[in-house]
Structure formats: structure tokens, C-alpha cells
Chain A
Amino acid sequence: MKNQVMEYASGNEMAAIAIKQIGYDLMGYYPITPSTQIAENLDIMRANGETDLVMVAAEGEHSAAGICYGAAVAGGRVINATSANGLLYALEQFPVQSGTRYPMVMNVVCRTVSGPLSIKGDHSDIMYLLNTGWPILFANTVQQVYDFNIIALKLAEQVKLPVVVAYDGFFTSHQKGRCLRFAEDEDVRNYVGKKQEEYPFLDLEHPITVGSYMNEPDIINNRYQLHLAMEEADRLLPQLFASYKELSGREYGKVEGIHCGDAQNMLVLLGSSYDTSIDAVEEMRKDGQRVGAATLHVLRPFPGKELFELIGRGDNILVADRQDSYGAGGGNLSLEVRAAMQKFGSSAKIKSLVYGLGGKDFFKEDAKAMLEWAKDLTRPDFAYYGVTAAEGSTGGVDFKAEEQPLFAPVTGDRTHIGATEAKMDEQTKQVKVTGGNLNAVTAMPGRIAPGHGACPGCGIPVNLNLLLRGIEDPVVFLFQTGCGMIVTTAYPKTSFKVPYVHNLFQNGAATLSGVAEICYRKQKRGEIPPGDIIFIMVSGDGGLDIGMGSAIGTALRGHRLLIFEYDNGGYMNTGYQLSYSTPLGAKSSTSHVGKAQYGKTFFHKDMPKIMAATGIPYVATVAESNPADFIKKAAKAAYYAKTTGTAYVKAISACPLNWNDKPATERKVIEAAVNCCYFPLYEVEQGVTRLSYDPEKSGKKIPVLDWLSMMGRTRHLQKEEYKDVVEQIQQEIDARFLDLKKRTL
């Protein structure tokens, strides 16, 4: 047994430690809750020089999977971590990797698949992987997360298949407890051994083709090879568990059970719930009840025989699923347990319960209730456990009065306050906006109600309000995932007083295109009243990284809608990971500052320029420090969005929490971003570029360092050692501003 030390850590921390100890070559990733901390922890180690792992922050999970695949093909040791919709977004890549037989390891930190969007833990994501040809290990404790990460890589490289290590989001990923790790990285590395490549891709002397075009009769043979590899994994796993036991002293099997030997009633469940069931079973045993519980550490290859040997001789088995294969009469686990029990000849009565969706807590009492359910003949053999029909009043309050609307609907007759007007000037072919007076626009009824949960001083509602005060036509919203959506729509409340739909942030602009088309059609048919409606897609928190394709597609089609980006310079809704619009040098939870790293290493994306290149009629940048300009541009954008095509407006949006500055003075920080020309105010109207405000002419231009020094995330750049970094930023900003000015000529 090798020397080990104790850690007080969470599942995500232990995964990161294992990854660091193994010494992977590359991690391709995209942050998604609750898996994000793995990359964050590794980035800290990177910044401190503890690992030389190459970390590539992709612009979406699909790309992350692609980066991983490429790196695996090229012969690297590769790791990824994801969850829920990120996993599904990348799904098509997984059979590519297993079908072409390139090993790697991916941690799947299990979370509910949207929608409605939920960030908490269940198994609705992992079950989508059952048919992808990846072996899947499932860890139910923090210790197992560490151990299985090490075993997984060895398995992957021996059978030449990519392998998943899955565990419960939050319950296992975030809860901290005591566990052990090897004292020396060497011991881990010796165990996994050196990577062997059968057909080295980068051997130019012996070129190979990967990913042939293959139909019948060949593809079935390729698939059969994959099947054989899975069978090989099934044979190998006991050996790997045994050799790992020698190393660690910890013994694992494909399945695990407690008191199953003589149990009449048994519970089968995955993940942390099994852990909790152990306590329940022990307590019931003390009362003389013959009960047991079992779990699977391997979902693929499915250990049917081992499971039968463990539980097959019981009278009643209840399989609890933390997901449902809707319409199949159970979740995937129970379907497979039923099939295995039948195959191996069990006569047990099997029932299924769907429980714990969306991270609903699983108590010891629940395990006990399920064991009672298992033997109760009057209980159905499939049901949802823990659903609520409806809860009554708690304080003698009259429901009916409470269900009356709190507000009058915000219809066009109320929003046409006559404070701002946009009109086409037929001579110049440019739109002229009048009004926009800050006092006058206070008359605009709120389309968004107060009571939202944004942090004190947050820029998102400020920017949304300025935008909306300049738009007098009725509006329909689509928000992509992000802080703006999270803080306004936490069920059962909503801040929106106008029609609103959320979609995930790969797809907002496209979704809103569909909404707009049906609106036009319904208006044409007279099914809804005629009149202009402004369709507004709102995104931020890096939503135009992963959603850029959809936004550009919409722009190229010329769909008549307004894309509004609040650029807060990071994935703030998940705890500030770097986005492509984070400034160079800024620290974030995936671009830490340390002796080996100075913060983010590439420049912020120039999204307005990208959107302008699509040839849409209107592109503008706005800032709350110039509120009248903001409101007028909103009116202009709305004009183009209802008459001509796509309009794109981008605001720089303060995030006091993650910019690490004072909420009270955010407007000054925004003003400085404008004055240093990091965020120049301009518009591109029908191909004509105009500066809205020139800090140079007004004598207000400041060096970029003045702005960077105002925020905690970039304050370290003041130090002498980062002079070069600041110089780079200044040069880039100056070059972009010069280029912008040239376009105004």
C-alpha cells in the first residue's frame, strides 16, 4: 500500500487533485454548474505552477468535446468535465470518439437537464450516455470520485475507449468531508503507466486516416469491435479494482451492497442516495427487519450478473431512479435492473420509483419509506415519489384576492408616452431620434418589476431599464441563460410584466426568430391585433460566446429583432469564469493570477465589429454613463428591428461582485471604460459608422490602466511585473479605436 494523506475536500476538489496527480496533457472544457469547480481548482494549481496541464476554455461544450477529441487523436492524455445540458450539447461528439476508439476520461457531475432550467442534481443527464459506447463508472462518495478517476484512465487506455466518471452534482461534488489521497504523484503515475499508442497519429513517417467514410458491410464490424471492447472492459474491471486495492487499501466492485445476503426487501439506487440508504438499512436491521440496499459502480458495461448475484434472491426489489425514461414505466436504471433480473432468473417482485429530481433531498426516512413500499402489495409498481399535488393556505389568506394581477398589463397604449421618437429621414436615409430626456422617460411603465434578485449595484437591470425606456412599442423578450434570467424568474415568481421566454444560451436568437415569424403570421390572419412589436433577445454572461452562431445566423437571415448584449465580461451567473469578452490580464475563477499565470491570456472579443460584418442595418454600443445616448440608440435599434432587420446593441454592464469594486460607483467605472476607449461608443447605421462620443476630442481620454485599476479583478496589473501586459492591452485598444475612427471617415 502506498503512503496516503488526509484531505478535507469535496468531490470536485478530489477530481481535480486526481487529474493533477495523473499528469494529464490537456483539459478541454466549458464551465457548467456543478462541474465547473474542477477546472477552477486546476486553474489555481496551474497559476501556482503545480501543474503544466494545458487548459483550453472552449466557447461551448460542443467545441470542448472537439478539442478533447483532437487532443486524444494526437496522442495526448485528455480530460474533460461537464454536466447536464453541456453534456447534451456535446452529445454527438461522444460516439465519434468511442467509434474511432480514442481513450480519455470525462467527469460528468450529474445535474438535471433543462428545461425549465434547474441547476441541481439528478441523473437525467448521465442516462443519455448509455448508448454512446463509453464505459461509465459511478462514484457515490467523495473518496470514490478520486479513486475512480485514477482507475478510469487505466481502463480507458487498456480497452481504447473513452471513459466517464459520474457522480452526484452538489451532494457529492460540493459537500466536503474527509478522504485520502496518495502522498506522491509518482505512485499514481506508476499505477496508470505510460500511454501507449497503437497508431500514432503524428508519426509523419507512417500516416494514418482517422474517421473513414464507412457504410455496410463495414460499420457493423466496427460496432462489433466496440462491443468487444466493452466486453473486455467488463473482464478487466475486477482486475483493475484488485490492483487498485493493493495500491490504496480500498476495495471496490462493479456492484456494492449492504446486508443483501439474507434481505427480503431491497433498495437499489445510484450515487449519494445509496450512501444515505446504508444508514437507513442499518437502523432497520436493528429493528429486526430483513432489508438491504445495493448500488452500481459501473453503468456500462452493465454488471447484470454481479447485480443478480447480489440481490437476485430477494423477495422484493425497489429500484429508485433519479430520472425518468418518460413513458417506459421507470428510469433507465430500473429498466435495466428488471431486464437483468429476468435474464438471470430472479423471481423477485420489482418496483420502480422516480425520486429526487432537481436535487430534491433524499433523507434516511425516504429510504425507509421506499423499503416499506417495496413489500407493500397495495402500492403500485411504478410511481413518482415525493410529488406535491398542491399545498393549501398557510395563514388563512384569501387565495382569490392574492391571485388577482398585481399590475395592469403593459400594453402599447401605456408605453407610447411620447418621450422618444425615431423617424426615418428620407434624405439622409438615416434614422433621426428626438427626445430621450431622462426626466420624461421616467413616465415609462416598467416592463420588468422590482423585487428581482440581482446583487446590489448590478448593471444588468440598469441597462435593461435604459434600453426599455427608449422603446415605446410593445416588447416581447427572450433571455438566454445568464444572471439576467436567473435573478428575474426564480419560480414561483417572475419579474416580467410582458411576454418572456427563456432558452439556453446557444439558441436565443434562433428561438426568437421563430416567435417573430408566428407573430407576423397570426397578425396577418387577424388572430392577434396588428401593430408593431419589438422582439428583444437579451444575453450576457458570455452568452454570445456559445450563442454567437445562432446570433450570426439570425443576422444573416435578417430576422427583424433586437439582440441586446449586456457584457459583464465573464460567466458571472456561474461564479465568474473567463468569457471571450473578459479583458486580457483579468483574473477570473478560470484565469487565476499566480507565479505561472497573469490572468486571462487572450484579448476581449470585438462583438460589435463581428455583428457589423454581417451587414445588419444597425449596430450600436451603449453605456449607462451616457444615458441619453443609450435611450436614443435603443429607440433607433427598435425602429430598425421592427422595419428592416436585425439590430444589435451592446452595453458594457457592471458586476460589482466579480469586478470586485464598489456597487455605488459603478457608473464611474463604466465611464472610465468608455473614456479609455476600451468600450468606445459608436453606431453603424446602414453601413455608415459614426462615433457617438470621442474621448480624445473631449479631452477625457485616459490610459487603460486607470480603468483597470478601478476593479479588483484587474488591479494587480498596476504592478511593475505586469507592465508588458498593460502595454499589450493599451496597444490593442488604441489599434481598435484607430480602426474604428478610420471606418467613420
Chain B
Amino acid sequence: MEQIAKKSGGLRGTLESGKEYYEIRLESIGGLGANLCGKMLGELGVKYLDVNSSSFSSYGSEKTGTPVKGFIRYCQKEKEIRVHYPVVEPDLLVVFHQALLKDDGVWKGCSQDTSVIITLEPRQDQPKELRERLFDGQIGTCYGLEAQKIAMESHSRINVVMLGAVLKVMGIESLEAGEQICRDTLGKKYPDALKANLEGMRRGYEEVRLLSGKEAPGDKAGAKAGVDAKDIAEDKLAAKTADKVWGYDNAPIGGINPRFGSTVISDLSPSRQGYIPLFIKERCINCGLCHSTCPDMVFQFAKGEYKGREMMVNQGLDYYHCKGCLRCVDVCPVNALVRGVESEHPRKEYFIPNQELLRMPKYYEEAGSDGYITSESYLTEKRMEGGEV
């Protein structure tokens, strides 16, 4: 494990080399607690690492399913931090959710000098998106850990597991400071949850592993993994944003938006937390209850015949917009909708895109939706402490 700190240069190495700041960017989705993770990392610097620090998040906050960015800056203790803008060129990029890897914005400002920590599925080595970046030399050293699994096993949350991993990659020699900040933040009110979170952090610290790096033999990790450069180029094109960007020359005045229904091009699948509804068509009685409870207009009914009667018949689900809330599973009276683990169903049966579309948009863009809520929910800490949900 010593290797890890050496490779990344780490916090101290970076600051001693004369670089003004050591900067971290957290890329997450509301509900995973990245906001709190960033706060703890910031506070840790000032209180226990003998450096100065500042932190904030992307003012999108903890609305579940919304992309959230966290920014942490460290500098020498004597220096005042006077810059208030987001971290543009991170020394360390931390991606909390694998679905975010396909979002171009997540990788902005990364270079060969950027270390990256990602979450892994159990037994997974390198996700395709990571291989591409390595292949292109867009990132430096990569680390990964099975954060979700660790969180579940330790009864902690993914943010403390990631906190442990970040401390390791930052080259912090021991977990003592991390433990202190956990105690400060989580309080003494919930000793049981604190214990679990300390365990989660410890395992994050210990189980984060090097995936590959610029020093890795053969260098071209992508080539090594057998990825065809042409595949990569095509995938990338598909990830690009399609719409023209409005500016003062071409945007309708007054913020008027004539692109009616245009949120339909958003891909909301990253909002899901690992589960999807599975449709067992043979059981369906077309009662319409699923349609009545779905907040995301996922169910696609069309005129048809059921038991010899003409009626609206459920054709399937538009998984582009399913956020995995599983309301439909809960109301279905005949178990025609059941809960499934998404990773076990890479090809979804009855996947019917929105039927009202006149044309299929070329690209479903962006991970998640746009955020708004700007206060930390009063529940954030509660969830952190005990996890009532």
C-alpha cells in the first residue's frame, strides 16, 4: 500500500513541490453524501493536517439523483485561500458513482497529473470509460475500490468509505486524523453508527487499490485490455451534447424556451440506486396502477387487446427515465412488476422508449437532472449517523 502514496505525489508532496494548491474534486450524485465528505475533508485539513483548507459543493446539494460536485483546496498553513471558484484542474478526482464515468463534464480539466479514484462493482477491474481515458492519456493514476459493497458490509455509508480511500491516496500516513474528524462530525450521540462509519472508513483506506497508472508496464492500459481505438471514438461521439448552445445572439429573449418537452432527452438512469422494476408481461392485467403511481412517465400503454377486450395495454417501460423508485413494484396487485438488481439485467426486456416522441433524439445527454436545493437537508446528517431510510 505504500506504493499508493508515492505514486500520487499526495498532499504533502504536491505542496512541498511548490504548487500553490492541492485540489480535489468530488463527482457524485445527490444522496450519496459527497457534500458531507467534502466538508469533512476540508475541516480535516485545518484541524488535523496542519495545512489551510477550504471546501464547498456545487450548490446543487443533496437532492437525490442530481449530480453534485464537491471542491476541496489545501495549501500551506500560512497562506490565505482567496479563490472561490470551482476546482478546474484537480490533483485528485473522486467519482462516487460509476454511471458518472460516461459524463464528459466529470472529466473536465483532468490531465496526466490527475489521480482518479472510482467505485467498482464487485470483482470488476476497469470500467470501459476509465480504460478510454487512460488510453488517451487524459488521466494519470487510477485507483478503485468496491465502495458500495464495503458500505453495505460495514453498515456505513459510501461517503465515509470514499473518505478513507481519499485519505490513502492523498498520502495521509495514518487514519487517526480521519477518525477524529468522523467523531467531530458525527458526534457522540450515535456511538453505534459511529463505529460502523469508522469501520467503513478504515476499509476504504485499506482496500483502495491501484488499477493502473502512467507507470504501469505497457503504459497503454486501454490497448492492454483489448479495447479497439475505433470503438472508443464512436462511443465518445455518442456521448457528445447534441443541442446548439444558446447565447445572446440566438437565444429567445426573456429566457423563453420554445423547445417544449425537451427534458425528454435527459437520461436519468444514473439516479437509480442499483435496482430496477422488471416487467413480467404475462402477469399484467393492465389495471393502470403502475401508470398512476410512476412519477417519471415510464410506462408505455397503447391501444390493444387483452382477454378479448379492446383496451389500453402495457407495452413496457422507458428505462431512460426510470429513476428506480420502485413505486410501481409496490402498487402492482399481481406482481407483474418486480424488483431486480440492475447489474444483472444489462439488456432490459420490454424497454420501450417514450412512445409520444416524433423522432428519437440522437443522444440522451448528461447524467441525472438539474439540481436546485441549496440547503443541506436536515436529514443529511441524520442519514449519516444512523441511516433512518
> Interface of A with B (CB < 8 Å)?
6, 8, 10, 33-34, 36-37, 40, 115-116, 119-120, 168, 170-172, 174-178, 272, 275-276, 278-279, 359, 361-364, 387-397, 399, 401-409, 437-443, 445-446, 448-462, 465-466, 483, 486-498, 572-577, 587-589, 592, 624, 627, 656-658, 660-668, 712, 715
B296 within 8 A of A: yes
Known: A362-B84, A453-B65, A453-B368. A393 touches B244 (CB 8 A): yes
Known: A178-B52, A441-B288, A664-B330. A453 touches B369 (CB 8 A): yes
Contact present for A406 and B248 (CB under 8 Å) = no
* Measured CA separation A165–B245 after assembly (Å): 38
Q: Shortest Cβ distance from B169 into chain A, in angstroms?
A: 22
> Could you pull out 22 A-B pairs where Cβ atoms are within 8 angstroms?
A176-B43, A177-B54, A272-B84, A275-B83, A388-B248, A393-B244, A394-B241, A397-B242, A404-B359, A405-B260, A409-B260, A450-B320, A451-B369, A455-B323, A456-B295, A462-B293, A489-B257, A491-B257, A492-B259, A624-B293, A663-B325, A667-B327
Q: Shortest Cβ distance from B261 into chain A, in angstroms?
A: 4
Q: Shortest Cβ distance from B87 into chain A, in angstroms?
A: 11
Taking CB atoms and an 8 Å cut-off, the chain B residues in 355-389 that contact chain A are 356-359, 361-363, 368-379, 382, 388-389
Contact present for A660 and B370 (CB under 8 Å) = no
Contact present for B287 and A438 (CB under 8 Å) = yes
Contact present for A657 and B379 (CB under 8 Å) = yes
Which listed residue (A40, A171, A397, A445) contacts B362, Cβ 8 A? Answer: A397
B243 within 8 A of A: yes
Known: A119-B372, A657-B379. A391 touches B358 (CB 8 A): no
Contact present for A276 and B325 (CB under 8 Å) = no
Kindly list 11 other residue pairs between chains A and B, CB separation below 8 angstroms, not including A446-B297, A493-B266. A8-B47, A34-B374, A116-B255, A361-B84, A391-B247, A438-B292, A446-B356, A494-B257, A657-B63, A664-B326, A667-B293
Contact present for B292 and A176 (CB under 8 Å) = no
* Measured CA separation A363–B87 after assembly (Å): 11
Smallest CB gap from A662: residue in B: B389
Determine chain A's interface SS by DSSP, over half rule: loop
Q: Which of these binds chain A: B126-134, B156-164, B222-230, B298-306?
A: B298-306
Contact present for A276 and B83 (CB under 8 Å) = yes
Contact present for B288 and A588 (CB under 8 Å) = no
A587 contacts which chain B residues (CB < 8 A)? 378
Known: A276-B83, A496-B261. A395 touches B242 (CB 8 A): yes
Which listed residue (A396, A442, A592) contacts B312, Cβ 8 A? Answer: A442
* Measured CA separation A406–B363 after assembly (Å): 12
Known: A442-B291, A449-B261. A406 touches B379 (CB 8 A): no
B61 within 8 A of A: yes
Q: Which interface class (under 10, 10 to 19, 20 to 34, 35 or more) fits B?
A: 35 or more
Known: A453-B370, A457-B327, A624-B293. A592 touches B248 (CB 8 A): no
Which listed residue (B82, B251, B377) contacts A278, Cβ 8 A? Answer: B82
A388 contacts which chain B residues (CB < 8 A)? 245, 247-248
B65 contacts which chain A residues (CB < 8 A)? 453, 455-456
* Measured CA separation A34–B358 after assembly (Å): 40
Smallest CB gap from B255: residue in A: A116
Q: Shortest Cβ distance from A206 into chain B, in angstroms?
A: 45
Smallest CB gap from B254: residue in A: A116
Q: Shortest Cβ distance from B145 into chain A, in angstroms?
A: 25
Which listed residue (A403, A575, A667) contacts B244, Cβ 8 A? Answer: A403
A406 contacts which chain B residues (CB < 8 A)? 259-262, 264-265, 357-359, 361
* Measured CA separation A234–B32 after assembly (Å): 50
* Measured CA separation A486–B263 after assembly (Å): 12
* Measured CA separation A272–B81 after assembly (Å): 11
Contact present for B246 and A492 (CB under 8 Å) = yes
Which listed residue (A119, A178, A466, A488) contacts B374, Cβ 8 A? Answer: A119
* Measured CA separation A665–B327 after assembly (Å): 6
Known: A395-B241, A494-B263. A589 touches B43 (CB 8 A): no
B197 within 8 A of A: no
Q: Shortest Cβ distance from A354 into chain B, in angstroms?
A: 13
Contact present for B261 and A573 (CB under 8 Å) = no
Which listed residue (A276, A393, A487, A573) contacts B84, Cβ 8 A? Answer: A276
Contact present for A395 and B369 (CB under 8 Å) = no
Which listed residue (B46, B59, B356) contacts A8, Cβ 8 A? Answer: B46
Which listed residue (A276, A456, A491, A660) contacts B379, Cβ 8 A? Answer: A660
* Measured CA separation A243–B371 after assembly (Å): 44
* Measured CA separation A439–B290 after assembly (Å): 10
Known: A8-B46, A445-B356, A658-B379. A459 touches B82 (CB 8 A): no
Q: Shortest Cβ distance from A629 into chain B, in angstroms?
A: 12
